[in-house]
Structure formats: C-alpha cells, structure tokens
C-alpha cells in the first residue's frame, strides 16, 4: 500500500513540476515577444536627415582657410566629445526605457 501512495505523491509532484515548467515557458515566450516588439519599434525610428550626408557633406561648403583654423582649434576632438555625449544620451534613454 505504501508503494501506491508513493506513486501518487510522485505523480502529484510531477504535475506541479510540469505546471511550473509550462508557466516558465509561457513567461519566456511573452518576454521574447516584448523584446521583438521593442526591436521592431526601434527599427521604425528614421535616421536623422541631418546625419545622413555625413561629415563630408557638412564640411564641403567651408573654405580651406577656415578648415585650417578649425583643425588648429581641435575640431576633431570637439566632434569626438559631441559624438560621445550623443551616444551617452541615446544609450541612457534606451536603458531607462525613455523615462529620463
């Protein structure tokens, strides 16, 4: 008789483990769908038109003498700092889910 009750206990334990596994699979599937939706929404954000031409199209209209002074004043370092700040700002917005 004890083997019968042990089998029933094992069956009930297996049922609870199966329910836990199903709930875990469902939650993983829901989180996966949320991440896919998030990546789809981010892919819909258009690339800014001001950045589409690149730095070369920005600097084409500037004369050579002004470009020399911009280079002497550290334009490359300034643009690197601006780019780093922009990357920090965008990554901060993404990491806080656009709350900040």
Over residues 21-75, the pLDDT tens digits come to 999 999 999 999 999 999 899 888 887 676 667 777 777 777 888 888 888 999 8
Asked if 38 and 67 sit in the same domain, the reply is no
What's the structural domain count of the chain?
2
Asked if 38 and 68 sit in the same domain, the reply is no
Query: What sign does the dihedral 76-80-81-82 (CA atoms) show?
Result: positive
Asked if 67 and 32 sit in the same domain, the reply is no
Is 56 a domain residue? no
Per-residue pLDDT tens over the stretch 62-99: 788 888 888 899 988 998 999 899 899 888 888 887 77
Query: Smallest Cα–Cα separation from 45: which of 7, 77, 93?
Result: 93
- Distance CA(5)–CA(16), nearest Å, equals 17
Q: Which domain holds residue 38?
A: 1-44
Q: Is the pTM of this model over 0.75?
A: no
Query: What sign does the dihedral 77-78-83-88 (CA atoms) show?
Result: positive
Is 54 a domain residue? no
């Amino acid at each position: 008789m004890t083997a019968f009750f042990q089998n029933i206990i094992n069956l009930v334990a297996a049922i609870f483990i199966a329910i836990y596994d199903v709930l875990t699979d469902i939650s993983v599937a829901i989180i996966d769908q949320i991440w896919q939706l998030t990546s789809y929404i981010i892919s819909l954000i258009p690339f800014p038109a001001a950045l589409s031409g690149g730095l070369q199209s920005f600097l084409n209209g500037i004369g050579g003498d002004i470009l020399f002074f911009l280079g002497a004043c550290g334009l490359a370092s300034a643009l690197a700092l601006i780019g780093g700040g922009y990357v920090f700002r965008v990554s901060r917005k993404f990491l806080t889910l656009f709350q900040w």
